[in-house]
Amino acid sequence: MEIRRDVVPRDPGSPRTAITIGAYDGVHTGHRTVIAEVRRLAAERDLASAVVTFDRHPASVVRPESAPLLLTDPGQKLEQLATTGVDLTMEVPFDEVRAMESAEEFVRTVLVDCVGAAVVVVGEDFHFGHQRHGNVALLREMGDDLGFEVLGLGLVGPDGSPARDHEQVSSTFIRRALARGDLERANAMLGRPYEVRGVVGGGDRRGRELGFPTANVRVDPAILLPEDAVYAGWYERPDGTVHATAISLGTRPHFYDDGALLLEAHLLDVGGPGSGGPDLYGEEARVRFVRRLRGQQSFDGLDALVEQLHRDVADARAALA
């Protein structure tokens, strides 16, 4: 997949494109359905297939006080888009100047002059441009003048078929599912386990003292974390090795009441650095949430906590088998 970031006029000799436009946060099954249609049209009409997206979520500039937490960081988003088989991703820089750009100007400078749109595929509820004045009707009107076709698609369910409102796939619905701990629904809409990334930092080593060493993964606060709970999942190291993992996400109410949120990953069958295990400090971790095991809770004493940790490990192992 080619990635472009400079909004400049295209080479007149380059192929025109079938494109889709959007924030594409999460690159979920609904997004993939749209991109599959883009690729089908591109192959049918001898065009290049393209996604036009942004280097940050537009809401983080337009309304930062209420911008949603992200399902994917910029690197994750590009990686997921590459798995769709699309030929080109145009990552448009989004800032205050771009936010003031009219919908008409965006169409001319980005869709036509930069990527050479021949077919534009978007959801029927798509809006864009300053104050979201652009919509499918405007795209069709401009397409008639500027030589591109517009296809508006209805929203779909996780299986890619048309869906009723409460069954539709959207980044908003995925965020809601994660926030209430409905990991099964969130992962179904994503088409994969939800993943967050961060660097492993030092902790107070309480897990190691209890016989359950953990990697304390520091996630960018702009990224959405699921509901505070204990999960089964996978932990990927920079070298690509993947480990079955019991994940604790929360404030550790048994020890502290300061509200500090921690993501702690206990790699199953892997000891800590002092017992022959790998030294994870300073590494980037990729943590994938597969199944919610239980909510966070306090315990009457350390013995009760350790007993529960043993159950959590067994439950995680069973969930990932």
Looking from the CA of 120 toward its CB, the CA atoms found within 13 Å total: 30
Cβ(7)–Cβ(114) under 8 Å? yes
pLDDT the model gives residue 302:
84
pLDDT the model gives residue 297:
83
Instruction: Please tell me the distance from the alpha carbon of residue 208 to that of residue 267, in angstroms, as a whole number.
Output: 12
pLDDT tens column, 71-128: 999 999 999 999 999 999 999 999 999 999 999 999 999 999 999 999 999 988 889 9
pLDDT tens column, 150-190: 998 876 666 666 555 566 889 999 999 999 999 999 999 99
**Cα 122 from chain centroid (whole Å):** 19
Instruction: Please tell me the distance from the alpha carbon of residue 91 to that of residue 115, in angstroms, as a whole number.
Output: 11
Tokens of 57: 């979520």
pLDDT of 308 higher than 70: yes
Q: How confident is the model at residue 213 (pLDDT cuts 50, 70, 90)?
A: confident
Instruction: Please tell me the distance from the alpha carbon of residue 234 to that of residue 62, in angstroms, as a whole number.
Output: 35
Output 192 or 256, whichever has higher pLDDT. Answer: 192
pLDDT of 41 higher than 90: yes
Residues facing 262 on adjacent strands: 250
Backbone angles phi, psi at 122, to 5 degrees: -145, 170
Q: Which of 75, 72, 64 is nearest to 31 (CA)?
A: 72
pLDDT tens column, 250-305: 876 545 554 568 899 999 987 655 555 678 889 999 999 999 999 988 777 788 88
Instruction: Please tell me the distance from the alpha carbon of residue 28 to that of residue 50, in angstroms, as a whole number.
Output: 17
What is the reported pTM?
Answer: 0.89
pLDDT the model gives residue 163:
57
Alpha helices in the chain (DSSP H): 29-45, 59-62, 74-82, 96-99, 103-106, 136-146, 171-179, 183-190, 206-209, 302-320
Contacts of 29 (CB under 8 A, 6+ apart): 156, 158, 159, 160, 169, 188, 189, 190, 191
Mean pLDDT of the chain: 89
Q: Residue 316, SS3?
A: helix
Complete domains list, the chain, with CATH: 11-174 (3.40.50.620), 194-320 (2.40.30.30)
Q: Which of 70, 101, 71, 77 is nearest to 3 (CA)?
A: 77
Q: How confident is the model at residue 235 (pLDDT cuts 50, 70, 90)?
A: very high
